[in-house]
Chains A and B, each alone.
Chain A
Amino acid sequence: MPELTRPHQSHFFADLDSTPLGLVDLVDESAAPASLWVEAWHSLRRRPLFWISATLIALVTLVALFPSLFTSLDPGFCELKYSLDPPTAGHPFGFDRQGCDIYSRTIYGARASVTVGVLTTLVVVLIGSVFGAFAGFYGGWFDSLLSRVTDIFFAIPLVLAAIVVMQMYDDVSVMTVTVVLGVFGWPQIARITRGAVMSVKNADFITAAKALGSSRLATLARHVMPNSAAPIIVTATVSLGIFIVAEATLSYLGIGLPTSIVSWGADISKAQASLRSQPSVLFYPAGALALTVLSFIMMGDVVRDALDPKARKR
């Protein structure tokens, strides 16, 4: 640091380090610039909503993977003599009409919902991002063709399409529901991916990649897609919740998962008859479902805010 105060100087000069300019010099230029994701993480970890939803998602995932950690009771073991009994010691949520323990059914029901939600989202992201990426990246008649196909699937509301297909099946499994919801759920992701790819593909760094001899497919995979991932991830997180609701709706209509698989949707549907005598029969599975869906939607919301620099500044 050179000496700033000189013998004939009549004004006071602040030391460079104590002026705002000093801050500019403090930025470490040798380090890599903070990426979108790092910045997003910095803003995310200060949001209480992020921690709440992350905790809830972790908890639900744990319950879905290892239900026996949370209850020692078998959800299929029911005794009619306990039918609609209020909560007692060891049975904190009480009993349903068949005399099954509501707590253990709520715990075991998580697996079906979470599995359908996660697997359907994977299927949807896979189909949707491939369709959207090719349509957006290659453009022209190829884009027109893929976009029309997307429109066709988009024209049939998800639950409606699922109803038409599901009514044909007698033995439904988690896989059936996943495939049906996946096949009709992808257009939204495809549209969002297409939009994101189109806004990225004319950026300078894409031109640079091409100039350096990167093939079209490699450019798409290595440069365009990673930079279009943000909106896809946000939409996928929110749709995960929506797919769980869709699965429950199908179970409610009686064409979803059979009663042999413990699921929240089927339990809620059965609770309709007992609602007037024992509201908790409805309350616990519906509450668990709503909380699970809520945690995914909240997560999507917070991540969207964090990834959007405009929203972050305010």
Chain B
Amino acid sequence: MAWYIGRRVLQMIPVFLGATLLIYAMVFLLPGDPVAALGGDRGLNPAVAEQIRAEFNLDKPFFVQYLLYLKGILTLDFGTTFSGRAVIDVMGEAFPVTIQLAVMALIFEGVLGIGFGLIAGLRKGGVFDATLLLVSLFVIAMPTFVIGFVMQYVVGVKLQWLPPTVGGDVSFQTLLMPAIVLGAVSFAYVLRLTRTSVAENLSADFVRTATAKGLTRSRVVNVHVLRNSLIPVITFLGADLGGLMAGAIVTEGIFNIPGVGNTLYKAIQQGQAPTVVSLVTVLVIVYIFANLFVDLLYAALDPRIRYA
């Protein structure tokens, strides 16, 4: 196992370097000048543009720029926004909110997805199963922002069950609806994954043995079927945590939540390329670590992986 962990962590290093280089290159090597864009249609005073370029190291050769940027990431120095605040301070305010939102979404999709998926898998081919499958397809086919608009309008404005926007008031109650919207698509995936996995395991030899031993139905299902079926589901949930942080851009915009997604969205609208790069980099690092964690968890749950 130690050997597997070591190999997996070593593999992460080139991915980390490559991904950060890619993001940096996307923003600063592509046609289009982030500094010139700051001036809008009137254009920027050349002296001011020169000063901003020097401040963000944009006057140096590309690889020097990238190395300075990499040094910044490793020393947790993400630079400042164009308005002069340290990016790390902005993140310090925004990240806890987004993490709370993402974790709530994860719990929602995990509990309900596994629960409904289990019931559907146990009664594969039944009416309940068919209904759930169709509902899950509709949820996957519907863009998150449409689900968001409709929920906001129906639950928030019409029925007034939950507050329609969050604003400055971040609490469990205000984040509940955004979390459901954010987790909706993944909920459908978890449901389908659990269903397939349960239905497959039900006909496995070890389940027949357990039944033949005289175990009760509930013990066979809860201990033998469910535990084995959860391996792919847990993998999906772990990887999804990173995906949810990225998906938060849309959800946070709709419900006006002061999280990373909203900060990123505003930075994009204002053309603050260095801030965008910093925020995206942190999100990608979270994503890479989530994937690493999942792989290790997978190996811990399923011995076949680490000996392969």
Which residue of chain B has its CB nearest to the CB of A145?
B14
Which residue of chain B has its CB nearest to the CB of A180?
B26
Return chain B residues, CB-CB under 8 Å to A248: 143, 145
Number of B interface residues in the complex (CB < 8 A): 47
**A164-B27 Cα distance, complex, nearest whole Å:** 7
User: B78-86, B168-176, B220-228, B279-287: which lies at the A interface?
Assistant: B279-287
**Smallest beta-carbon distance A18→chain B, Å:** 34
Decide if A151 is an interface residue (CB 8 Å cutoff): yes
Decide if B142 is an interface residue (CB 8 Å cutoff): yes
Return chain B residues, CB-CB under 8 Å to A282: 146, 149-150
Are A157 and B242 in touch, CB under 8 angstroms? yes
Decide if B65 is an interface residue (CB 8 Å cutoff): no
Query: Contacting B144 at CB < 8 Å: which of A161, A163, A164, A249?
Result: A249
Are B145 and A252 in touch, CB under 8 angstroms? yes
User: A20-28, A80-88, A290-298: which lies at the B interface?
Assistant: A290-298
Are A293 and B141 in touch, CB under 8 angstroms? yes
Decide if A289 is an interface residue (CB 8 Å cutoff): yes
Return chain A residues, CB-CB under 8 Å to B288: 155
B interface footprint on A244-270 (CB within 8 Å = 1, 0 otherwise): 010011001111000000000100110
Query: Contacting A286 at CB < 8 Å: which of B31, B32, B146?
Result: B146
How many interface residues does chain A have, given as a range? 35 or more
Q: Which B residues from 31 to 47 make CB contacts under 8 A with A?
A: 31-32, 34
Return chain A residues, CB-CB under 8 Å to B246: 157, 159-160
Return chain A residues, CB-CB under 8 Å to B30: 165, 168
Decide if A65 is an interface residue (CB 8 Å cutoff): no
Are A164 and B23 in touch, CB under 8 angstroms? yes
**A164-B18 Cα distance, complex, nearest whole Å:** 16
Are B271 and A152 in touch, CB under 8 angstroms? no
Are B142 and A290 in touch, CB under 8 angstroms? yes
Please judge, given known A-B contacts A164-B26, A164-B27, whether A252 and B15 are in contact too, CB under 8 Å.
Answer: no
**A286-B23 Cα distance, complex, nearest whole Å:** 32
Return chain A residues, CB-CB under 8 Å to B14: 148, 151-152
Are B153 and A276 in touch, CB under 8 angstroms? yes
Are B249 and A159 in touch, CB under 8 angstroms? yes
**Smallest beta-carbon distance B25→chain A, Å:** 10
**A152-B137 Cα distance, complex, nearest whole Å:** 30
Return chain B residues, CB-CB under 8 Å to A301: 137
Which residue of chain B has its CB nearest to the CB of A246?
B143
**Smallest beta-carbon distance B19→chain A, Å:** 4
Return chain B residues, CB-CB under 8 Å to A215: none
B interface footprint on A281-312 (CB within 8 Å = 1, 0 otherwise): 01000100111011001100100000000000
**A289-B138 Cα distance, complex, nearest whole Å:** 11
Are B250 and A152 in touch, CB under 8 angstroms? no
- Looking at chain B's contact residues, the main secondary structure is helix
Query: Contacting A253 at CB < 8 Å: which of B140, B141, B243, B265?
Result: B265
A interface footprint on B265-292 (CB within 8 Å = 1, 0 otherwise): 1001101000011001001100110010
Q: Which A residues from 148 to 189 make CB contacts under 8 A with B?
A: 148-149, 151-153, 155-157, 159-161, 163-165, 167-170
Decide if A241 is an interface residue (CB 8 Å cutoff): yes
Decide if A68 is an interface residue (CB 8 Å cutoff): no
Are B23 and A156 in touch, CB under 8 angstroms? yes
Q: Which A residues from 223 to 257 make CB contacts under 8 A with B?
A: 241, 245, 248-249, 252-255
Are A148 and B11 in touch, CB under 8 angstroms? yes
Decide if B157 is an interface residue (CB 8 Å cutoff): yes
Please judge, given known A-B contacts A249-B145, A253-B253, A272-B149, whether A161 and B26 are in contact too, CB under 8 Å.
Answer: yes
Decide if A58 is an interface residue (CB 8 Å cutoff): no
Return chain B residues, CB-CB under 8 Å to A294: 137-138, 141
Are B19 and A156 in touch, CB under 8 angstroms? yes
Please judge, given known A-B contacts A151-B15, A155-B291, whether A163 and B268 are in contact too, CB under 8 Å.
Answer: yes
Are B284 and A297 in touch, CB under 8 angstroms? no
Decide if A275 is an interface residue (CB 8 Å cutoff): yes
Which residue of chain A has its CB nearest to the CB of B133?
A301
Return chain B residues, CB-CB under 8 Å to A149: 18
**Smallest beta-carbon distance B201→chain A, Å:** 13
Are A297 and B140 in touch, CB under 8 angstroms? yes
Which residue of chain A has its CB nearest to the CB of B200?
A310
Return chain B residues, CB-CB under 8 Å to A276: 153, 157
Are B250 and A252 in touch, CB under 8 angstroms? yes
5 examples of A-B residue contacts, CB within 8 angstroms: A153-B22, A167-B276, A275-B153, A290-B142, A294-B138
In the complex, given contacts A268-B149, A291-B141, what are 9 additional A-B residue pairs having Cβ atoms less than 8 angstroms apart? A148-B11, A148-B14, A152-B15, A152-B22, A157-B284, A159-B246, A163-B264, A168-B30, A241-B140
Q: Which 9 A/B pairs are nearest by Cβ-Cβ distance?
A: A152-B18, A294-B141, A293-B141, A157-B246, A168-B32, A155-B19, A286-B146, A160-B246, A151-B15
Binding site for A on B (CB under 8 A): 11, 14-16, 18-19, 22-23, 26-27, 30-32, 34, 137-138, 140-146, 149-150, 153, 157, 242-243, 246-247, 249-250, 253, 264-265, 268-269, 271, 276-277, 280, 283-284, 287-288, 291
